[in-house]
Amino acid sequence: MKTKTIEKKKFTFSDYWDRYSTITILAIMIVVFGALRPSSFLTTGNLVKIMEQSSITILLGLGEFFAILLGGIDLSVSSIMALSGAMTAKLMINAGFDPWLAILVGIVFFGLFVGLVNGVLVTATGLPPFIITLGTQAILRSLVYIVTDARAVSGLPASFSTSIGGKLFGIVPVPIIVALVAAAVLTFFTVKCQSGRNLYALGGNTQSAWYAGITVKKHTIIAFAISGLCAALAGMVNIARLAAAEPNAGTGYETYAIEAVIIGGASFFGGIGKIPKVIIGGLIIGVINNGLNMVGVSSYYQQLAMGCLLIIAVTLDRFFGASRKS
């Protein structure tokens, strides 16, 4: 009688990085800043504040996730966020739209539709998403300055600010709920819907996905449409929290979105990643920004820290992440 010897696989750093990297980084950041400012950083109020501030980064990151999942990138998310916010504010103040109707128009026409345009341009021209979205980023930002005359749009209805930027039952900030609901819906889409699973296959190997009958152009457009939609949601949260639409809103936030996705464990090379980890990635960025502010570090050095963190995360993914195994 033959007996099979099952060789136990050795648990490597690569395995650890794939499974626990994001939660480890978040825990380290909390411990470090908690030790530096124990009386202020670890308070309930500050931790809730971090989650609320991170909601915009998380929403942008959720959209960016789908572009990166395909092995691409969407640099226009920050400009979509600003444009959707500015147009929604204009509709409420100048056109007298009901706040909820203005939100719907802002999300659909200046978020979802703009994302669709990005996807169509990528598939129609065959150019890299980096080039297309870099161009639309500049175009959309210019439109924001033109529409707002480079001035803040203020005087938003109190009902809008208190509903989207307020707290549910006076306890939980609504921006946190918006981000978590969006993440839950998109998790369901990627896990339970065929189109969502197809995006993973497409990002893993485009040619194999095409041979398997997956429509490359259709799913590329879907990915960028979701990115635009999430950016518009971030725009709604942003103007609600500020009670105004700033023309330079979200400038540089595309970097935060990319960092949230990559630090959250998604592969920059496509096909790998999970929505819940994007949330953790966004929280890591929020913790770093909040913690550095508390210890009195200049915003210039904060940008330096974020840039270094992004390079380190991509490098570790390249040499130790799941993309190395595929």
Averaged pLDDT, 252-279 = 89
User: How high is the pLDDT of residue 144?
Assistant: 96
Q: Is there a domain that residue 286 lies in? A: no
CA-to-CA distance for 260 and 65, rounded, in angstroms?
9
Nearest to 64 by CA among 224, 179, 271: 224
pLDDT at position 1 over 50: no
Can you tell me the mean pLDDT for 141-151? Answer: 94
Q: List alpha helices for 243-321, DSSP H.
A: 253-263, 275-294, 299-320
- What value does the mean pLDDT take over residues 156-184? 89
Length of the chain: 326
Residue of higher predicted confidence among 2 and 290? 290
SS3 string of 171-237?
CEEHHHHHHHHHHHHHHHHHHHCHHHHHHHHHHHCHHHHHHCCCCHHHHHHHHHHHHHHHHHHHHHH
pLDDT tens digit string along 31-52?
999 998 888 898 989 999 999 9
Q: Is 153 part of a structural domain of the chain? A: yes
What are 164's two structure tokens? 């989207």
Side-chain-side CA neighbours of 147 within 13 Å: the count stands at 23
Minimum mean pLDDT range among 14-28, 137-151, 201-215, 306-320: 306-320
Over the stretch 94-137, which tens digit does the pLDDT of each residue have?
988 999 999 999 999 999 999 999 999 999 999 999 999 999 99
Backbone torsions φ then ψ of 244, nearest 5 degrees: -165, 160
Q: Is the pLDDT of residue 92 over 90?
A: yes
The answer to whether residue 59 scores a pLDDT higher than 90 is yes
When mean pLDDT is compared across 12-26, 69-83, 173-187, 310-324, the lowest value belongs to 310-324
Q: Is the pLDDT of residue 299 over 90?
A: no
Q: How far is CA 19 from CA 3, 12, 140, 247, 308, in A?
A: 32, 11, 38, 40, 22
User: pLDDT higher for 212 or 32?
Assistant: 32
Q: State the DSSP string of 107-118.
A: HIIIIIHHHHHH
Per the domain annotation, does 152 fall within a domain?
yes
- For residue 63, the enclosing domain spans 55-250
Q: How confident is the model at residue 9 (pLDDT cuts 50, 70, 90)?
A: low
pLDDT at 326 > cutoff 50: no
| Number of domains observed in the structure of the chain | 1
pLDDT at 77: 97
Report the pLDDT value the prediction gives residue 312, as an integer from 0 to 100.
Answer: 79
* Mean pLDDT taken over the chain: 88
- Torsion on CA atoms 288, 256, 303, 144, rounded to nearest 10: -130
Q: 312 in a domain, yes or no?
A: no
Position 144 in a domain: yes
Asked which of 118-122, 187-191, 295-299 is least confident by mean pLDDT, the reply is 295-299
Reported as a pLDDT band with limits 50, 70 and 90, residue 166 is confident
pTM of the model: 0.90
Q: Is residue 244 assigned to a domain?
A: yes
Packing angle between helix 77-93 and helix 113-125, nearest 10 degrees?
A: 140
Residue 5 belongs to a domain: no
In this structure, is residue 6 part of a structural domain? no
pLDDT of residue 322: 54
